[in-house]
Amino acid sequence: MRRTIMRIEDSKVVGALQELGIQLRPGTRLSELTSLGIGGTTDRLLIKNHEAIPDLLNLLDSQGIPHRFLGGGSNLLVGDGELPWVVLQLVSSQPDIVLEGNFAKVDAAADLGRTVTYCAKNDLGGMEGLIGVPGTVGGALRMNAGAYGMQIGTYVREVKLYRSAARKIETLRGDQISFEYRHTSFAPDDMMLAVKLELPSKPYPEILKGIRICNEKRRASQPLGQKSAGCIFKNPPGASSGRMIDELGLKGLNVGDARVSDRHANFFVNAGKASAKDMLALISAVRQRVEKSFGLILEFEVVLWNA
């Protein structure tokens, strides 16, 4: 199959990006920016100033340049080779976390783990379960990241975002957004820019205790030293994808260097030089086995980009 290559070479477009203050990083290897260590090459556009986003997206649309939003790359399986879109990535402003009483205003580009610990040190808890979830706050909002019985959506009071429908930057109240299990009501082309969280007051030592418990649970059950994207499949209602895969004896199954983790059957790791093609073949094989044995079609938790 012939694949379209998307590179920004037109000097007028390059000049317009410069005027908007957007940094162009041509030929970025996404394998270097994803936790799976998989992904082909494309141009990356770095955005410092949120206000430039509407003009940037108008420019890309008018030039027929498709785009994707990249956060920390920890929940992505990106295709191999030359990719048919560019990626947009936010650059964190400084300071990227501002506290006011029980509210934390956080930039979408901020690191999620650092946000949890910064808030904790200021006696704001609730997010202990998110410790160890890699990536950015924007990615966590989009995915409604959660673990150990909590999810980020519970604490969201406001989100500043670029809304694709209105083609402008708006602020939504938390109660205007639905946060479900690894799913949110944002439109696919909405871009999270900042969030206001309301967090319960708790003394730091108590939060730290919770953080240590969650860290311990992760260490005991997940292949933390290996390249992965966390859980590949969502859990179907009342069932555990990992348990089903484990019961089928599929831990250790591999296609090339793509492997079902020996530690956690819903984590698939890149044990060397796995390609997206290898990983996808492994995912399909496991999905088919689960469907055949349990009659369930597993839904993806990982986001597939041209894989």
Ligand X SMILES: Cc1cc2nc3c(=O)[nH]c(=O)nc-3n(C[C@H](O)[C@H](O)[C@H](O)COP(=O)(O)OP(=O)(O)OC[C@H]3O[C@@H](n4cnc5c(N)ncnc54)[C@H](O)[C@@H]3O)c2cc1C
CB 246 within 8 A of CB 254: no
Q: How far is the CB of 87 from ligand X (least distance, A)?
A: 9
* H helical segments located in the chain: 11-19, 53-62, 112-121, 137-143, 204-221, 241-247, 276-294
Query: Can you give the length of the chain in residues?
Result: 307
- Asked if 76 touches ligand X (CB under 6 A), the answer is yes
Q: How far is residue 68's CA from residue 61's CA, in Å, rounded to a whole number?
A: 12
Work out the burial of residue 255: count CB atoms within 10 Å of its CB; fewer than 13 is exposed, 13-18 middle, 19 or more buried: buried
Tokens of 51: 């206000």
CA distance 281 to 144: 27
The catalytic position among 44, 182, 259, 287 is 182
Which x/- pattern over 4-43 shows residues binding ligand X (rule: CB under 6 A)? -------------------------------x--------
Which helix (H) or strand (E) covers residue 191, if one does? strand 191-198
Residue 182 falls in the annotated catalytic set: yes
Write each residue from 146 to 185 as x if it is in contact with ligand X (CB under 6 A), else as -, in one continuous string: xx--------------------------------------
Contact pattern for ligand X over residues 90 through 109, marking x by CB under 6 A: x-----------------x-
191 binds ligand X (CB under 6 A): yes
Among 126, 135, 153, 210, binds ligand X (CB under 6 A): 135
Does residue 79 interact with ligand X by CB under 6 A?
no
Is residue 119 among the annotated active site residues?
no
Q: Please, what is the minimum distance in Å from the beta carbon of residue 54 to ligand X?
A: 15
Among 125, 139, 153, 210, binds ligand X (CB under 6 A): 139
Q: Which residue in the list 142, 231, 263, 287 is annotated as catalytic?
A: 231
Q: Which of 28, 31, 115, 136 binds ligand X (CB under 6 A)?
A: 136
Minimum distance, C-beta of residue 143 to ligand X, in the bound complex (Å): 4
Nearest to 65 by CA among 11, 12, 13, 1: 13
Residue 170, CB half-sphere, CA atoms under 13 Å: how many?
A: 13
- Answer for which of 127, 140, 156, 276 binds ligand X (CB under 6 A) is 140
Three state DSSP letters for 16-84: HHHHCCCEEEEEEEHHHCCCCCCCCEEEEEEECCHHHHHHHHHHHHHCCCCEEECCCCCCEEECCCECC
75 forms part of the interface with ligand X (CB under 6 A) = yes
266 part of the interface to ligand X, by CB under 6 A: no
| Interface positions with ligand X (CB under 6 A) | 35, 68-76, 90, 108, 133-136, 138-140, 142-143, 145-147, 191-192, 222, 228-230, 303
Please identify every residue annotated as catalytic. 182, 231
